[in-house]
Every structure is written in C-alpha cells, then in structure tokens.
C-alpha cells in the first residue's frame, strides 16, 4: 500500500515556524557591501507541487538577491545557444574548492571545473554575450525568467550590481586569468558587467520556485505542458546541481538533503524534487561554505518529512 501524500501546507508552515525560533542564523555575505546589511532574521520557503499549488511559509514573497542561483538559468540559456560546445570551455566536475577560488585555474589552463563556481559561471556568461551587446544578453536572461516564472515583474537590482562591481576583485582576477588563456571571448569588463547584473536579480521564494519548475518536471511547465528544454537537458542540469550546486559544501548538501540544489550568497537555495516539487528557500545567514545555513537545515527537514530524497 502506498503511503498518503505529505501534507505540504502543514509541513511548510511548521518548518517556517521552527526556523523562526532558531538562534543559529549564520552571517550575511560581507564581501558584497549591499548584502552585508540584510537582516538575517528573515526566512522564507515555497514549495510548488505537480498540480501547481504553491505551499508557502514565512517571508516567501519577499524578494532577495538570487546571486549564484542565476547560474542555473544562464547555464540553461547557454546550452540552448551553443549546445555541447559549451563543455569545451567549462568542465562538469565538482571542484571541492570555495566558490571564488583561483587555484585550479592554473593547473587546468584556464578551464573552470564546472559552470557553478564563479570562474565557470563567468565563462558561461561570456558564451551568452558573444555576438551581443551586454544589454541584449541581460534582456534575454530577464525575459527567460519572466517566461519560466510567469512573472514579468522580476528585475535586476542596480545597487547590488554596482556594489559587487566595486568590490569584485576576485572575480576580476578570475576573469583576467581565464582571458589570458583565451577562454573568454569578450572584454573582461563586459563579461563581468553581465555577470554582476545577473547575480543581482531579485526574486522571492515563490518566484524562484515557479522559475525552477522546468527542472523538476522533465524540462516542462507542468501546468501548461509547454516545453522549456528537453528532458535530457533538465536531467543533466539537475545532475550538475547535485554535484556542484553548493561549492565545496556540495557533498554535505547531498548527504543531508539528497536533492539537486543551487545556492547563492544572498541566502537563497533553489532545490528540485524531480517529478514532485520545485522548492525555494531563503535565509540570508550563511555557513562557512557560503551557503544558506538555515536554508540547508530547512531543506533537510523538508526532505526527511516528505521522503523526497532522490536516494530513496
């Protein structure tokens, strides 16, 4: 006999209430001044099930800086644009290094390990930029998000983009290093300008979970049935999220949560329970790997209570 479906409304509300009470909140990202002041007492969770029902708790409709979660969407677009040729300039292996590390680039001749560490995402952004003006590329990224989230109100946050540009010394180093190996086709300032802007996109948990549905449902919008990408591509992006989506904390996230997920230093995580739900959580305090501390704990609770871990 199969077990009854989980009461998602109840589970989400209870997790949000539990997270509100916790005092171990982590710290907001300090190296981007505009994010350093974000109140770490906020917490949001949104789960969208197969029927399109939104189960939400806490600050699920408050927009936050999605930061590196944008790398999932730029990867989707770049694969659509250049296909498997993308893998000539970025790898598919977990790095085991921090998100902004430069060490592997020298050994691996400027080819970043995967599309989700900063260097890899900058290379992916560069692929999207080739043959376009930065404004066109940014317009394309936003249009894609409007389409998949079914919400044309999603915007970039200029103040966050400018703040990151002012202090983005590591990202400039990574991009210049890759440029020296010929991995970037466009001027470093232009590739980084687009990168900082897509990281600055602000979305709420609800908007993010809406946007992630194509990954949870074999490349399709489960409500309209419209195809966004092929099922095979969705499966592969999920595989990269599982193995590389939390930097050098990816193993720990897979071990504890067991779902493909992508984190951002704004404190958000987009997670995918294939065939079951698209999930977004936000808690701005980070752990030592730069991933949302309470976000990960909330997802661990959710996976346990729903039985959604992909490992059974």
Catalytic residues: 68, 71, 195, 247, 265
User: Which residues are CB-contacts of 56 (< 8 A; sequence separation ≥ 6)?
Assistant: 12, 44, 45, 46, 47, 205, 206
Crossing angle of the two packed helices 134-149 and 70-82, in degrees rounded to 10: 110
CA atoms within 13 A on the CB side of 2: 4
Contact between 290 and ligand GLU by CB under 6 A: the answer reads: yes
Among 265, 269, 272, 286, binds ligand GLU (CB under 6 A): 265
Per-residue x/- marks for ligand GLU, 172-201, CB under 6 A? ---------------------------x--
> Binding to ligand GLU (CB under 6 A): which residues in 136-165?
164
Shortest approach of ligand GLU to residue 99 CB, angstroms? 4
**Number of residues in contact with ligand GLU under rule CB under 6 A:** 11
**Spatial separation of the C-alpha atoms in residues 146 and 67, rounded to whole Å:** 17
Contact between 125 and ligand GLU by CB under 6 A: the answer reads: no
CB nearer to ligand GLU: give 194 or 298.
194
Contact between 278 and ligand GLU by CB under 6 A: the answer reads: no
Shortest approach of ligand GLU to residue 50 CB, angstroms? 29
10 Å CB burial of residue 138 (0-12, 13-18, 19+) is buried
- Please name the helix (run of DSSP H) or strand (run of DSSP E) that holds residue 262, with its range, or none: strand 261-263
Could you please report the per-residue DSSP string of 35-75? HHTS-TT--EEEEEETT--EEEEESTTS-EE-GGGHHHHHH
Per-residue x/- marks for ligand GLU, 47-76, CB under 6 A? --------------------xx--------
Q: 170: closest CA among 269, 103, 94, 107?
A: 103
Shortest approach of ligand GLU to residue 100 CB, angstroms? 5
Shortest approach of ligand GLU to residue 264 CB, angstroms? 4
Among 42, 95, 137, 171, binds ligand GLU (CB under 6 A): 171
Chain centroid, CA 40 distance in Å: 19
Among 99, 177, 217, 253, binds ligand GLU (CB under 6 A): 99
Shortest approach of ligand GLU to residue 228 CB, angstroms? 23
Contact 68, 262 (CB under 8 A): yes
- Please name the helix (run of DSSP H) or strand (run of DSSP E) that holds residue 279, with its range, or none: strand 277-282
Under the rule (CB under 6 A), what is the footprint of ligand GLU? 67-68, 99-100, 118, 164, 171, 199, 264-265, 290
């Amino acid at each position: 006999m199969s077990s009854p479906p989980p009461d998602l409304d109840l589970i989400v509300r209870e997790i949000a209430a539990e997270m509100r009470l916790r005092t171990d909140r982590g710290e907001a990202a300090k190296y981007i001044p505009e994010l350093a002041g974000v109140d770490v007492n906020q917490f949001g969770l949104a789960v969208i099930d197969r029927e399109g029902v939104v189960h939400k708790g806490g600050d699920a409709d408050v927009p936050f800086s999605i930061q590196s979660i944008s790398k999932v969407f730029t990867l989707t677009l770049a694969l659509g644009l250049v296909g498997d040729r993308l893998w000539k300039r970025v790898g598919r292996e977990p790095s085991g290094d921090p998100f902004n590390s430069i060490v592997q680039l020298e050994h691996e001749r400027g080819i970043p390990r995967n599309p989700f560490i900063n260097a890899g995402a900058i290379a992916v952004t560069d692929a999207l930029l080739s043959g376009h003006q930065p404004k066109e590329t940014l317009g394309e990224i936003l249009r894609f998000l409007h389409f998949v989230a079914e919400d044309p109100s999603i915007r970039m946050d200029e103040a966050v983009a400018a703040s990151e540009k002012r202090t983005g010394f590591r990202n400039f180093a990574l991009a210049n290093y890759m440029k020296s190996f010929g991995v970037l086709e466009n001027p470093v300032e232009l590739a980084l300008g687009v990168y900082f802007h897509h990281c600055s996109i602000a979305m709420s948990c609800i908007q993010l979970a809406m946007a992630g549905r194509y990954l949870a449902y074999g490349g399709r919008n489960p409500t309209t049935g419209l195809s966004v990408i092929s099922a095979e591509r969705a499966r592969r992006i999920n595989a990269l999220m599982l193995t590389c989506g939390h930097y050098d904390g990816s193993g720990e996230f897979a071990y504890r949560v067991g779902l493909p997920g992508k984190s951002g230093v704004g404190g958000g995580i987009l997670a995918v329970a294939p065939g079951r739900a698209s999930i977004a959580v936000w808690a701005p305090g980070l752990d030592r790997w730069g991933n949302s501390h309470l976000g990960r704990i909330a997802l661990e609770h959710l996976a346990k209570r729903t039985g959604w871990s992909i490992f059974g």
